[in-house]
Amino acid sequence: MSTVLKFTSAAIIALLAASPALAKPVKIGWIQGNAAFQAEQRTQDGFKKYLTENNIDDWEVTYLDSAGSAEKVANNIEDAVNRGVDVIYVTYADLRASSNALKGAESAHIPVYTVDSGWIPGSTADITTNNWQMSAEVSLSLISQMKGKGNLIIITTDKIKPVRERTDTLRAILKEYPDIKVIGEYNFDVANFYQETLNAVQDFATRYGEEITAVWTPWDEPAQAAITALQGAGLNVPVSGMDGHPEAIKAICEPNSMFVATGRQQFEEWGVNLATYAKRVMLDGDHPKEVTNGKDIVYYGATLFTKDNCK
């Protein structure tokens, strides 16, 4: 081989190695707790926006919907590990059945970044809101609407850790308001959260009617289901949610709306973070824990939104 040919071959090899566009594409397994959540969709929007703005078009992302099932979350994590992905995301999920699956990912040296799912061993880090802070502000706003007294309906679920935190916060606050009585509570199945909330509030409306002073719900979509049920029963009582989705913000700002408060979260920014974590680990060579500064949980604040903010 001539000296010129040797030099040319070496140059081509160097260029191939240095070019991100020609590097091996990053393979991501995205495990969705429930693909129907608006929070899920907004997180993906932030993730995709980051890829577009940074001209990344060769990442291979596989989405696996767990449809509200903790067992499916575990199975989907195991599936992603078996397919040999580079990074796993788990979003808005119940991880209580996933300990062994996460240990399998850890053994395979696959970082697992979760979103609003709680941190357990095997997870690299969880991105989440300070749910205690958000629930405290939203719950107190609803209690203010009640003037500290009356009959409260609680709609919740114990299947998601952030929601358990929000509900626990509400219960702690209610200890200081003895004139508020919880006359009804329903714990819904995450897989059918909207329909079950609709049915439960319809039942409470039939049972208690105008005795209901307010309804507390764990996020915006159940809040909207509750409002639909109350409207159908001819009742007009304040309802709170959390998440701060555009539809909820619009509803709160409508005249005479029953939707009175929500907490605005930073879902799109979380999606950007997920993308930067994968880039730094797989392309820049950073350690998986380094990208979160060694934190197991990366907390973000939420902003209370009420009618006072509509101006």
Q: What residue has token string 């070019």?
A: 19
**Are 241 and 206 part of one and the same domain?**
yes
Judge residue 267's burial from the number of C-beta atoms within 10 Å of its C-beta, 0-12 exposed, 13-18 middle, 19 or more buried: buried
Closest Cα to residue 238, out of 308, 136, 141? 141
How far is it, in rounded angstroms, from Cα 267 to Cα 17? 35
How far is it, in rounded angstroms, from Cα 126 to Cα 216? 26
Q: What is the pLDDT of residues 73-92, one digit of tens each?
A: 999 999 999 999 999 999 99
**Are 117 and 137 part of one and the same domain?**
no
* Beta strand extents in the chain (DSSP E only): 27-32, 60-65, 87-91, 112-115, 125-129, 150-156, 180-187, 214-216, 239-240, 259-264, 297-300, 303-306
Question: What's the CA dihedral at 40, 41, 42, 48 to 10 degrees?
Answer: 110
**Are 125 and 272 part of one and the same domain?**
yes
**Are 144 and 254 part of one and the same domain?**
yes
25, part of any domain: yes
106, part of any domain: yes
How many CA within 13 A on the CB side of residue 247?
A: 11
224, part of any domain: yes
How many CA within 13 A on the CB side of residue 151?
A: 11
pLDDT of residue 5: 40
How many folded domains does the chain comprise?
A: 2
pLDDT of residue 18: 42
Question: What's the CA dihedral at 255, 259, 264, 265 to 10 degrees?
Answer: -140
**Are 83 and 56 part of one and the same domain?**
yes
- Residue 242 near residue 135, CB atoms below 8 Å: yes
**Are 178 and 141 part of one and the same domain?**
yes
pLDDT of residue 176: 97
**Are 174 and 258 part of one and the same domain?**
yes
How far is it, in rounded angstroms, from Cα 74 to Cα 147? 44
178, part of any domain: yes
**Are 110 and 138 part of one and the same domain?**
no
Whole-Å CA distances, 114 to 59, 90, 248, 277: 19, 5, 25, 11
**Are 50 and 158 part of one and the same domain?**
no
311, part of any domain: no
**Are 141 and 259 part of one and the same domain?**
yes
pLDDT of residue 301: 86
Q: What is the pLDDT of residues 103-125, one digit of tens each?
A: 999 999 999 999 999 999 999 99
- Going from the first residue of the chain to its last (311 residues), give the mean pLDDT of each consecutive group of 10, the final group possibly shorter: 42 41 79 95 97 96 96 98 98 95 97 95 95 97 98 96 96 98 96 96 98 98 98 97 97 96 97 97 96 95 95 78
Q: Which amino acid is at 151?
A: N
Residue 79 is part of a domain; what is its CATH number? 3.40.50.2300
76, part of any domain: yes
**Are 239 and 214 part of one and the same domain?**
yes
308, part of any domain: no
Q: Which domain holds residue 93?
A: 21-130+267-301
200, part of any domain: yes
Residues comprising the chain, all counted = 311
**Are 174 and 278 part of one and the same domain?**
no
